[in-house]
Amino acid sequence: MLAYIVRRLWQMVPTMLGVVLLVFLLFNWVGGDPAYILAGKMSNPEQIANIRKQLGIDEPVYVQLWIFIKQIASFDFGASWSTGEQVSRVISTRLGPSLTLLIPLTILETVIAIALALLIARVRGSLTDRAVMIACTVGMSISILVYIIVFQYWLGYKLGLFPVQGWGDSFAHNLLRYSALPILILLAVSLAPNLRLFRTFVLDEVNQDYVRTARAKGLSEGRILWVHVLRNAAIPIITHVMSNLPSLLIGAFLVERFFSIPGIGREIILAVERSDFPVIKAITVYVAFATMLFNLLTDLLYQAVDPRVKLQ
C-alpha cells in the first residue's frame, strides 16, 4: 500500500503543475491588470507603475510564474489586497468555522441517507416508497434560498429556537448554538438528492445473485440489507461522499453569508466582490490539491470496505 500511495502522490505533481499553470494564465491574462484595480479610478501612470513593481507584475512572465510556484510551495501568498491581512492567516482562520459546519453535516447526511435508503429498499415498489420519492423530488425542486428564509423566519425569529446570526470563540458554543440551524438547513437541502441516489445504489445490489443466495439460506431481510447489501453498495456511496467534500467547502457560501459565519465560502464571495486576487488564487489552488488528496483517500477506503479491491 505504501508504494501505491507514493506512486499516487508522485502522479499528483504534473496534475498540480497543470492547475498552477491554468490559474496563473487565467488571473494574469483573463483577470486583467491588477494594478488598475488597486489604483482605482483616480490614478496616474506613476501610481500604476509603482503598484506593478510592488506586485512583481512588471517582471517577465517566467519570473512571475516562478514567484507564484514559490508562493504555493511556501504557503505564502502575501497579503490580501483589500484588508492587508496575510492570505495564509485568512485561510487558516476561515477554515475552522467552515469545518465546524461541514464535518457534522457530512456525517449526519450520510448516515441518515444510508439508513433511510436501506429502509425504503425493504418496501421498494410500495406506496411508501413512491411517496418518499415524490417528497424527495419536491424537496429537490425548492431553492436553498427558500429553505434559508423559511427556517430563519420560523425557527429563528418566530420560535426563537436558534440564533440567526453570529459566531464566537468557543468551538462547543459555535457547534451547538450557531451552527445548529445552518446544519439543519443544509441537511434538509442535501437529504433528498442523497436519499434518491443511495436508494438507487442499494436497489442495484438487491437483485444480485448473492442476495438471492442469502435469502435461500434463510437470512433475515434486515441482515441481508444492513450487512451484505450495504457493504457492496458502500463503494459508490464512498465515491459520491468523498467527491463532494471539496465542493461542500465552497458551496456553503450562501449559508455562511446569511448567517454571518466567517468561513471559506463567505470569504470567497467577499474576495470576488473586492477583486482580491491573492485570496482567490490561494483558495483555488488549495481546493484543487484537496480534491486530489480526497481522491487518494477514496481509493484507500475502497480497500478498507472491500478487501477484494486491489491497489495497483
Q: Give the pLDDT confidence of 4-45 residue by residue, as tens digits.
A: 888 888 989 899 999 999 888 887 776 566 776 666 655 677
What is the model's pLDDT at position 8?
87
Tell me the range of 134-138, 219-223, 249-253, 284-288 where mean pLDDT is highest.
134-138
- Residue 47 domain boundaries: 2-74
Q: What percent of the chain has pLDDT over 70?
A: 95
- Domain assignment present for 297: yes
Q: Give the pLDDT confidence of 49-89 residue by residue, as tens digits.
A: 787 777 777 778 888 888 888 888 888 888 887 788 899 89
- Domain assignment present for 23: yes
- Domain assignment present for 149: yes
pLDDT tier for residue 251 given thresholds of 50, 70 and 90 = low
Which has more confidence, 29 or 256? 256
Q: What percent of the chain has pLDDT over 90?
A: 31
Whether residue 20 sits in one domain with residue 110: no
Say yes or no to pLDDT of 109 above 90. Answer: yes
- Domain assignment present for 311: no
Whether residue 26 sits in one domain with residue 116: no
- Domain assignment present for 81: no
- Domain assignment present for 86: no
Tell me the range of 106-115, 213-222, 264-273, 299-308 where mean pLDDT is highest.
106-115
Say yes or no to pLDDT of 290 above 90. Answer: no
CATH number of the domain where residue 195 is located: 1.10.3720.10
Residue range 192-201: mean pLDDT, rounded: 94
Domain tally, the chain: 2
Whether residue 238 sits in one domain with residue 175: yes
- Per-residue HEC secondary structure of the chain comes to CHHHHHHHHHHHHHHHHHHHHHHHHHHHHHCCCHHHHHHCCCCCHHHHHHHHHHHCCCCCHHHHHHHHHHHHHHCCCCECCCCCCEHHHHHHHHHHHHHHHHHHHHHHHHHHHHHHHHHHHHCCCCHHHHHHHHHHHHHHHCCHHHHHHHHHHHHHHHCCCCCCCCCCCCHHHHHHHHCHHHHHHHHHHHHHHHHHHHHHHHHHHHCCHHHHHHHHCCCCHHHHHHHHHHHHHHHHHHHHHHHHHHHHHHHCHHHHHHCCCCCHHHHHHHHHHHCCHHHHHHHHHHHHHHHHHHHHHHHHHHHHHCCCCCCC
Residue where a domain stops, chosen among 41, 74, 107: 74
- Domain assignment present for 139: yes
Whether residue 237 sits in one domain with residue 285: yes
- Domain assignment present for 164: yes
Whether residue 117 sits in one domain with residue 17: no
